[in-house]
């Protein structure tokens, strides 16, 4: 298995622009998580999907953030409009029944 | 305030030396996980400990879960440059949500 695949690996965008991050979880995993990692706050859970349904989005910082999982093999995290304070590394992780997490390599987002 | 406190924050040692990093909390957990994160990559699960007092070994890495299931330690024997990375502990706070510590950055110099 290729693991959790995220794209792009790096994204640089101007403030106010829309940003879409993509994730392909491991086949057969039924849980998907979006995390954000910063030096100040460490790893924070943004949203959790189970069987493609959003279960917990309490970590989504603002209405500017939205996430979708249209099917079991694809999820997106969108920020619109983006702000400099959104700069961070965004990770997608998947698991089977919320056991051992497998993380992707992350997307490093820079908003200038 | 972090649910899991990790110490030290940074650790730099020479190849061949031993090191221990700690993960502490005032809360009791049913299980605790340790991850290693290399630069530019996501965290990779090393081990899950579930029983108070449990000791697990993974080659030169020894993981211990405290008797009261509030704390854990990771000991590396004869560290190698390949052990360099950010070591994170994480504990489940409900059926699906993991809370991560801030991590210990370990640098092993050749």
The b-or-e profile of B7-44 (16+ CB within 10 A means b, else e) is eeeebebeeeeebebbbbbeeebebbbbbbbeeeebbb
Ranges of residues in chain A whose predicted pLDDT is under 70? 1
Span B4-31, mean pLDDT? 95
Per-residue pLDDT at B84: 97
* Minimal C-alpha gap between A92 and chain B (Å): 9
Average pLDDT over residues B24-52: 93
Please tell me the predicted confidence (pLDDT) of residue B78: 98
**Chain B, window 75-104: residues with a beta carbon less than 8 angstroms from a chain A beta carbon:** 88, 95-98, 100-103
Res. B1 pLDDT band, cuts 50 70 90: low
Whole-number pLDDT of residue B11: 97
Tokens coding B102: 């801030």
Which residues of chain B are within 8 Å of residue A50 when distances are taken between CB atoms?
96
Q: Residue B93 above 90 pLDDT?
A: no
Token readout for B109 is 């110099």
pLDDT higher than threshold 70 for residue B77: yes
Which of B41, B95, B100 minimises the CB distance to A42? B100
Whether B73 has a pLDDT exceeding 90, the answer reads yes
Average pLDDT over residues B15-43: 94
Give the pLDDT confidence score for residue B60 in this predicted structure. 97
Q: What is the average per-residue pLDDT within B29-57?
A: 93
Look at residues A89, A112, A85, A91 and name the one whose alpha carbon lies nearest to residue A103: A91
């Amino acid at each position: 298995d290729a693991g959790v695949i995220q794209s792009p690996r790096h994204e640089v965008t101007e403030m106010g622009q829309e940003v879409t991050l993509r994730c392909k979880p491991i086949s057969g995993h039924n849980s998907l998580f979006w995390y954000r990692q910063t030096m100040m706050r460490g790893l924070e859970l943004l949203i959790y999907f189970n069987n493609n349904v959003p279960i917990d989005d309490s970590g989504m910082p603002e209405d500017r953030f939205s996430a979708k999982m249209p099917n079991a093999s694809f999820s997106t995290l969108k920020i619109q409009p983006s702000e400099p304070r959104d700069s961070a590394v965004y990770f997608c992780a998947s698991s089977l029944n919320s056991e051992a997490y497998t993380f992707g390599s992350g997307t490093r987002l820079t908003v200038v | 305030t972090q649910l899991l406190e990790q110490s030290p924050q940074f650790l730099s040692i020479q190849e061949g030396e031993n090191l221990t990093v700690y993960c502490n909390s005032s809360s009791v957990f049913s299980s605790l996980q340790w991850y290693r994160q290399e630069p530019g990559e996501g965290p990779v699960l090393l081990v899950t400990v579930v029983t108070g007092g449990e000791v697990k070994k993974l080659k030169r890495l020894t993981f211990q879960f405290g008797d009261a299931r509030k704390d854990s330690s990771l000991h590396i024997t004869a560290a190698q440059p390949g052990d360099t990375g950010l070591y994170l502990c994480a504990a489940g706070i409900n059926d699906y949500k993991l809370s991560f510590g801030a991590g210990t950055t370990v640098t092993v110099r050749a």
